[in-house]
Amino acid sequence: MQPRRLAFLGLFVAGLMLPMLSNDLFSVLAYASLAAQGHDVYTTVSWLPHSVWYPWVGERWAEKVCVYGPTTLIGAMPGALAGGNPWLAMLALRLAWLAPAALVMELSFRRLRDRPFFHALIWLNPLWLVEGPGQLHTDLLGVLAVTAGIVLQRGGRPRAGWSLYALAVLGKYTFAFSGVWFWLSGTTTRRQRLLRLPVMGAIFAGLAVLCFAPFWRGPATILEPLRALGGMNPGGSIAEVVGILVDLLRGGGVPHADSPVSQALELDRATHATTWWMVAFVLRLVTLGIGARLLWVVLRKPFDEKRLALCAGALGVAVITLASHRFQSWYLLAALPFFGLHCTAVWRRWWLAVVALAVSTEFVHVLPRASPLLPVWSVVTNGGVVVAFLASFRARYWTLEEPAGRGGAR
């Protein structure tokens, strides 16, 4: 079967999935429906209990302001037209999100005919199919914007690419690292790179003002969501796993599966906070070093577009898996388009491993909380993900090639 046909078939099949692995969809619906009624969702949670979707919101988010950007809120507002009917709401969002997905897929297949790996890595990827059109995570919108931006910028329309990049970041801030590629791609001189910065900045600022205008309540509109994210317990990350191991070595225990979520979070914060801080501090220093190294590799002469794409993707993975204190499998979607442009063999092997492990962690949510399999599954999959984060570290981030004795990059 042709990759294009298979990709569209996958989009259709994944679009029939129910939100069985995550209830983030209902958080998005709650925030969007309240924002559509003119309520402030960025600086206060007082309106959240009034949403018809509030009973569906996960306990971890029941007292959190909206941490999604304005383009995500705007994109989710079609779901508000369904009233309180979950089936109509999901149908409205699927129509609103998957129609653009099909258009961007078609655009990429037509403009990048000579890059089958690009299409395979994104559109045929289980990570994309399950967490994107399957579970309707908002990262889907960012991936579409970044992918369309890459295609347009490579086709000689850089301002359109920068605009789409800005819209991706204004939907979810994890796409910010993509700016390295949009800034440098197509440049040959230092002057070109310097002149791009104010233009990109102006485009971003203009779109930010336009998109935030309906929701603006002062600086807190931006600062409160950032505080909410920064104040959350680590989850699915190296910091969380190290915190658990250190606590176990000290004689601590794991909260019972039936414990209230709020109680378990408070206990973790009380016992793990110091370890979390130390691990996060070290990992962020490491990420800064990786970023400096990758930027040096990109800017060294002669300039190479493949090297730029690889380094942009590697920087994204470093930010998501090392610097961030929280990790969910769908965060990795942000890096896929750049590895689609260029990916060495060591990174290909890494993607095969991390996608299998990261997606499998989400299946813990279909198990009963009292199931004896739940802790085993959680430990094996999350532990495997952390091992994958650190695997082939030097080859992926420093040499950017195969480890010695294992062959060259493809």
Q: Indicate whether 405 pLDDT > 60.
A: no
Q: Indicate whether 409 pLDDT > 50.
A: no
Mean pLDDT of the chain: 91
Cis omega (within 30 of 0) on the bond before 302? yes
Q: Indicate whether 39 pLDDT > 90.
A: yes
pLDDT at 183: 97
Which of these, 158, 110, 141, 148, lies nearest to 3 by C-alpha position?
110
Q: Indicate whether 406 pLDDT > 70.
A: no
Mean pLDDT of 322-339: 95
3-class state of residue 246 by DSSP: helix
Residue 335 vs residues 160, 315, 321, 324, 341: alpha-carbon distances, Å: 20, 8, 11, 14, 11
Tokens 């306990």 locate to 59
pLDDT at 83: 83
Lowest model confidence (mean pLDDT) among 65-74, 236-245, 285-294: 236-245
pLDDT at 261: 67
pLDDT at 208: 97
Q: How far apart are CA 378 and CA 374, in angstroms?
A: 6
- What angle do helix axes 373-390 and 345-361 make, rounded to 10 degrees? 160
pLDDT band at 376 (very low <50, low <70, confident <90, very high): confident
pLDDT at 260: 67
pLDDT band at 341 (very low <50, low <70, confident <90, very high): very high
Q: Indicate whether 319 pLDDT > 60.
A: yes
Q: For 326, which DSSP code?
A: B
Mean pLDDT of 43-64: 88
pLDDT band at 256 (very low <50, low <70, confident <90, very high): low
Q: How far apart are CA 136 and CA 234, in angstroms?
A: 23
End-to-end, the C-alpha distance of the chain in Å comes to 25
pLDDT at 373: 79
pLDDT at 259: 62
pLDDT at 401: 66
Q: How far apart are CA 142 and CA 174, in angstroms?
A: 9
pLDDT at 257: 58
Q: In terms of C-beta distances under 8 Å and separation of at least 24 residues, what long-range contacts does 285-288 make, across chains too? A: 286/322, 287/318, 287/319, 287/322, 287/323
pLDDT at 407: 41
Q: Indicate whether 122 pLDDT > 90.
A: yes
pLDDT at 255: 61
Mean pLDDT of 140-148: 98
Mean pLDDT of 185-204: 95
Give per-residue pLDDT as tens, 92-121: 999 999 999 999 999 999 999 999 999 999
pLDDT at 247: 83
Q: How far apart are CA 407 and CA 239, in angstroms?
A: 33
Percent of the chain exceeding pLDDT 70 equals 95
Q: Indicate whether 253 pLDDT > 70.
A: no
Q: How far apart are CA 18 and CA 251, in angstroms?
A: 40
